[in-house]
Structure 1
Amino acid sequence: MTVIFSTDRSVTRQGFQAEWTFIGGVPCGRDLTQSRGEFFSPNYPNDYPNDVHCVWRLQSPSWQIVSLNFTFVKLEMDWDFITVYDGPTDQGPPLGIVTGNQGNSFSSSSRYMTVVFHSDSSWTENGFRAEWRFLDEAPCGGNLTQSQGEFFSPNFPHNYPNNAKCTWRLQGPEQQVVSLTFTFVDLESTWDSVHVYDGPTNEDPQLGAVTANQMKSFNSSSRYMTVVFSTDRSVTQQGFRAEWTFIGGAPCGGTLTQSQGEFFSPNYPNNYPNYANCTWSLLAGELQVVSLNFKFVK
C-alpha cells in the first residue's frame, strides 16, 4: 500500500491521523526467481491459519539448481506439513516432507523446485521460515550438521560429471552417532565409487565402499563420518542418493548381512554404558560361514 499526502500553496488545516495494522495477508505461495531470498508461512512468526494450501515455485536460470534450507520449523506434527518436489509442479518426484520441528535442507536436480504447505482444520503453530539460493550445480560435498537430511551426487538424477571428487563431512552432537543409508546407487562399476570413513577425515578407518548398484548402510562409532565420491575421466551414470540421521549412541546390536564390515560396543571408542545387553546376528549366504576377528578389546 502506498499513501501520498499533498498540500497546495495556500490554506492549511490540522491534518489527519491514521492507524494501520498488518493482518492475515502474508503471501501464501508465489513464484520465486531471484538468486536468493526467504519465504515464510502465512502470518509468521505468528500462528498460521487453518486450512491453508500454499505453493511456492522456485525457478533458477537454466544452468543453476535450487538449494533450500528450512531455518525454523514449528508445525502441528503429522497434520500440518511441507512437501518439497523436484520440479516445476507438485507432480514431480518428492524430495521430502517437513513436519513437527524438523529443519531439513533440500537440493533440486534441475532449475525447478516446488514447495507446498498444507494445514488442517484444527491446531496451528508458529509455522516456518525458509531460505533459498541458486547454485551453479548440485553441491559437490559440504559440511552436514542438521539432525537429518539427504545428499546426492552432482547433477542427480542426471549423470554425474567426469573427474569429480566430492567430500561430505557429517558431524552430529556429542552423544550421537551418524547413520547413513544409500537409497539409490547407479555408478560405473569398479571405476567410480563412494568411500565412507569413520571419523572427520578420509584418513580415518574406512567403514566401506559403494559402487555399481550397491545400496548399503553405515553407522559411525562417534559423532563424525566422512563420505568421499570419486569418478574417473570416462563413463558416467545416474549417481546416488543418500540419507543420514543422527541417532543416540552407537547401535547396541543388530542384524548384519553385508559381506564384510565391523561393529563396536556402544559409544566406542568412548566408554560403553552400564547395564548394556547387545546382540548382533551375522547372517551369511547359504554356502558361506562367518569369520569374526576382535581387533581391540578393553
Structure 2
Amino acid sequence: KLGSAKTHPSVPYTPSLFPGTTVPALLNSTSNQLYLHFYSDISVSAAGFHLEYKTVGLSSCPEPAVPGNGLKIGERYLVNDVVSFQCEPGYALQGHSHISCMPGTVRRWNYPPPLCIAQCGGTAEEMEGVILSPGFPGNYPSNMDCSWKISLPVGFGAHIQFLNFSTEPNHDFIEIRNGPYDTSHVIGRFSGTEIPGSLLSTSHETTVYFHSDHSQNKPGFKLEYQAYELQECPDPEPFANGIVRGAGYNVGQSVTFECLPGYQLIGHPVLTCQHGTNRNWDHPLPRCEVPCGGNITTQNGTIYSPGFPNQYPNSQDCTWIITVPAGYGIHLNFTLLQTEPYNDFITLWDGPQQTAPQLGVFTGNSVKKSAQSSSNQVLMKFHSDAANGGIFAINFYGLYRSVSSQCLTSCPVILQDLEGSGPVWGHQEEE
C-alpha cells in the first residue's frame, strides 16, 4: 500500500499528487508495479514523508448476474474490466448496458446488472424483429392497452407469424392494423388459445394493439415479423376501348375501369391489388365489348355493331331503346354502315315499340344518312343472317323540339336504301 506520485511510463496510470502537510488516505494500486517520484524545489525545506507499503492480492469483482432473457459479454472481472449486456429480441434493456469493476478494498461494479423486460408498447424499425406481450413469458398484467408500431421503409410490408398465443377468450385480445392509426384497417383480431395464422400487412407502417381486462391473466403472445417488398400488380394498360383510373398498382390500391361510349364493361369495374407472395388483382381484368342491344338513357352517344371494330357475328337480332328527356326528339346519324344489302339491316321506330311510326330501314354500304324522331324514344333493331358480316356506327343526340316542328310525324317520304337500289319507306326528317 503506497502513496503514488507518478507511475512508470510503460504502465497505464492515473497519477496522484500529494503536496502540503495533509496525510494522504490509504491507497491501493491495481498493478504489480508502482513508481514513486519525490520532487523538491530551491526553497523551504520540510520534514518530508514516511510511508509503508505491503503487497495485497488483486481480487476481482463478483461475477455479475445474467439478466433473464438476456446475455452477458465479457469474462474478465478484475479492476477496470468492463462487462456488457444484451437482451434477446423483443425485450428492452432496463439499466446500464455496460458496467465496470471499481478499485477499492472491496471489489464492486459501478452499476448493478440490468434487467431485460417485455414492455407494453414501443417502436420497431428493424427489417425483422420480435414483439412480446408485457411480462412474457410470464402472465401479462391486468388492464393493459399496449400499442407497438412496426415502421419499415416505404415499399415494404410486414409478414407476421405468431409463435406463442394464450389470452383470456373474448376479453383479452390482440389486433393487427394495416397502418399507424387507431382507425387503420384491422387485418386480424385474435383471442383465446389457438395460435393465429400468418398475416401480411400491406403498409410500411403496421400497428400491433393488445388489450387485457381486469381478470384472468395469461402468458400472452410472442410474434415475429419480417419485412417483404411490396411489388406492384401487373399494369392493366392498355385497356382496349376503355379508360383506367387510379393512382397506382401497389398492394392495397384499387383501379377503376370505364368503357368508352357505346361499349359495355364485362367484369368487375373496380380491382384491388392483393397482398401475398405473388402480386395480382383480386379479379380478372375486365373488357369492353359492344352489347347486342340494351336501354340507352344518355342524351348523346354512339351505337356500334356487336363486336366493333371487328365485324358483327352472323345470326344476330339486337334491340336498343334510346330515351332522352321529355320535350326532345332524337337525331341519329349513320357515320359508318357496311352491311350485307337487304339480308342485314337496321330498322328504326319513332317510339319504344314496333307499333310506332317507322323512321326507316337501313341496309347496304354508305354513310351520311340520318333520321330524326318526334318522340323522346327510338326503338332500333338490327338483324343479320347466317352469312357475311359487316360493321356500323350510329351517332345520336337529343334535339329540342320547337313549336314550328310540325312535320316530324305527318310527312311521309320515300327514302332510298343506302345502296341506292330501292325504296325504303320512312318519314321526312326536319331540315
TM-score by length of 2: 0.33
Greater RCO, 1 or 2 (C-alpha within 8 Å, sep 6+): 1
Q: Max radius of gyration: which structure?
A: 2
